[in-house]
Amino acid sequence: MIDSLPTAVTLRVEFKADHKEPLKDRDLAMAALCLANAQGGTLYLGIEDNGAVTGLHPTRDRRKNLAAVIAEGTTPPLAVSVECLELNDLAVLQIDVPVAQGTVFSRDGRCQIRSLDQQGKPFCRPASAVDVMRRSHQQLELDWSAEPLLTATLDDLNPAERQRLRTMVRTYKGDPTLLELSDSELDGALGLVGSDGQGTQRPTAAGLLLLGHEAAIRRCIPGHECGFQVLQGTDVRINHFWRSPLLALVEQIEQRIDPLLTEQELDVGLFRVPVPNLSKRAFREAFINALAHRDYTRLAAVHVTWQLGEQLVISNPGGFVRGVSIDTLLTTPPRSRNLALADALKRIGLAERTGRGVDRIYQELLEAGRAAPNYGQSSLDDVVLQLSTQPANLKLVALWQRQQRLSGEPLGLLSLLLLHTLHEQRRLTNAQLAESLHRDESTIRRHLEQLVEADLVAAQGQGRGRSYTLSKQVYQAFDQEAGYQRQTALTPEEIDQRILELARQREVLRRRDLIQALGLEGNQATHALQRLCKRGALIPEGVGKGRTYRLPPAV
């Protein structure tokens, strides 16, 4: 017996009716492989498209092994798990579908993939040959950037770009052994050329992107393009698009970024510390990541948009590769969609050679007293990174600087992330912080106690119930001393209880209700609602600003 079921289809949730007529085995297999060829998900048999639960057809044999039916109807065989759920005397089959390794077809050679239509509604569409290639690229089964381009020749490589590459190796302290190589040795060492099926040496995709003449890049890699836009309010101050080779493109973008950089100055003891509106190191890492990991098979540009005084946004075509998500960006091993291209950029010195460029982006922003990088607008098709360029919190920067002087070393990234998470969610236990940051509890506990000793975090309670908030001096740096007083009085459990009590009094609950009725701050209300929805204590309905919450139906 269950309390509730999803009420709407999504990219990862599909409904199939079964009440009027039993769904055919081949249609069930197609619905499952459609999910598997995208992000995986859950297929519910016995629910109408509008979310109404109508149950299974009376003639359906519940003893039939539908997992085996789906495996038999797909190639390679798709392994799913099936569970029978009971809701108000109606039976529904829940079929959990994993993300496929490679691409799954039906036994008769058909293939579908889950997508969104122009209105943002999910549907299953036929998969094309490009979809199959793109999926292999996405799942790191095929390194497109290492493939020799059959429509290119060595004459398409520009000697001037090779000289630019050598200059960049010196400037950015790349791999010095590259400077000792001849042109042909350099191209081979970086994977910029390769042999085709007839043994002819041709530029690889990575080679043409780094060293190619622009006309050759346009001809062979038409998806490559980069746009740069600067907005002041609603006015467009700069709007450029390029199809230049990547090394020239990096220089062109940085030349246009430099005049827009400003600095705040902070006096710390006898020293004056400059705090820029945009860290060039963080920007370069983010921009190089966008160029290195984008999907070049798509006819779409990398976009760099700077809303002056607000934020800089970098977006690139192609979602996260297999094994990477917003939640695991800082913990998953480095992975690249274009391995040869990414490796060449690292050896040139443009990208973090340890593969931890995202860590550097986070550290640069948090050390400058700004919000953490935001990947929340990313989707299945695009990675979108928002970097705050609002004025830095100089009180916070001064606090970090004083702590560095006292301890002899700067705060590490994990400590900064803990402080940032506590600022957003206010009060959390060690276990909750470990879950939020995807780290083990012993590591989190060790860093927390160090922050307590440094008077950056305050602790209450003992054992597993011990909870943590920012200390009074950190709240003062945020000009939120009243918030400190509230956090010392309320635990997360007490906040959750107050929200549920409010939900019982109202038919629907909105985020603003928590802010107005309970005095919670915006981020605190958001995280509390997410916490309660994850536990099933509240059910979300709708999206965006119109999202509401309600209690689950009574059993």
Coil, strand or helix at 483 = helix
What are the tens digits of pLDDT across the range 242-261? Answer: 999 999 999 999 999 999 99
432 against 212, higher pLDDT? 212
Q: Is the pLDDT of residue 212 over 70?
A: yes
With b for 16 or more beta-carbon neighbours within 10 A and e for fewer, the 482-503 pattern comes to: ebbebbeebbbeebbebbeeeb
**Burial group, residue 418, by CB count within 10 angstroms (0-12, 13-18, 19+):** buried
For residue 316, what pLDDT is reported? 93
Residue 10 carries which DSSP code? B
In CATH terms, the fold of domain 412-487 is Arc Repressor Mutant, subunit A (1.10.10)
240 pLDDT higher than 90: yes
Lowest mean pLDDT among 123-132, 197-206, 249-258: 123-132
* Rounded Cα distance, 147 and 143, in Å: 7
Q: Are 203 and 211 contacting, i.e. CB atoms less than 8 angstroms apart?
A: yes
pLDDT digits (tens, 9 = 90+) for 277-286: 899 999 999 9
Rounded to 10 degrees, what is the CA torsion of 324, 325, 327, 331? Answer: 10
Residue 13 three-state SS: strand
Worst-scoring range by mean pLDDT, 159-168, 265-274, 377-386, 446-455?
Answer: 265-274
pLDDT confidence of 404, banded at 50, 70, 90? confident
Q: How many residues does the chain have?
A: 555
Just give the CATH number of 13-127.
3.30.950.30
Q: Where in the chain do CATH 3.30.950.30 domains reside? A: 13-127
Percent of the chain with pLDDT over 70: 93
Nearest CA-CA partner of 372 in 311, 427, 433? 311
Please give the pLDDT value at position 183: 94
Reading phi first (left if > 0) and then psi (alpha if -120 to 50, else beta), residue 401 is in alpha
Residue 355 has pLDDT above 70, yes or no: no
Share of the chain above pLDDT 90, in %: 35
Query: Which pLDDT value is given to residue 226?
Result: 96
Give 116's pLDDT tier (boundaries 50, 70, 90). Answer: confident
The pLDDT assigned to 275 comes to: 86
Gyration radius of the chain over CA positions: 27
Bridge-partner residues for 116, per DSSP?
122
> Looking at residues 77-83, what average pLDDT do you find?
87
Interstrand relation of 467-470 and 457-460 (parallel, antiparallel or unpaired):
antiparallel
| Residue ranges of the chain that CATH labels 3.30.565.60 | 226-394
Which regions of 192-255 does DSSP assign to beta strands (E)? 193-195, 201-203, 226-232, 235-242
Q: Model confidence over 459-480: pLDDT tens digits?
A: 877 777 788 888 888 888 776 5
* pTM (predicted TM-score): 0.69
pLDDT at 119 over 90: no
> What CATH number was assigned to the domain covering residues 492-550?
1.10.10.10
Task: Identify which has the larger pLDDT, 178 or 505.
Answer: 178
H or E, element range at 543: none
pLDDT for the residue 287: 95
The residue behind tokens 């929340």 is 376
- CATH 1.10.10.10 residue window(s) in the chain: 412-487, 492-550
What is the rounded distance in angstroms from the CA atom of residue 23 to the CA atom of residue 19? 9
Beta bridge partners of 470: 457
| pLDDT at residue 323 is higher than 90 | no
Using pLDDT thresholds of 50, 70 and 90, give the confidence band for residue 169: very high
The CATH class of the 226-394 domain is alpha beta
Two tokens at 348? 């040139």
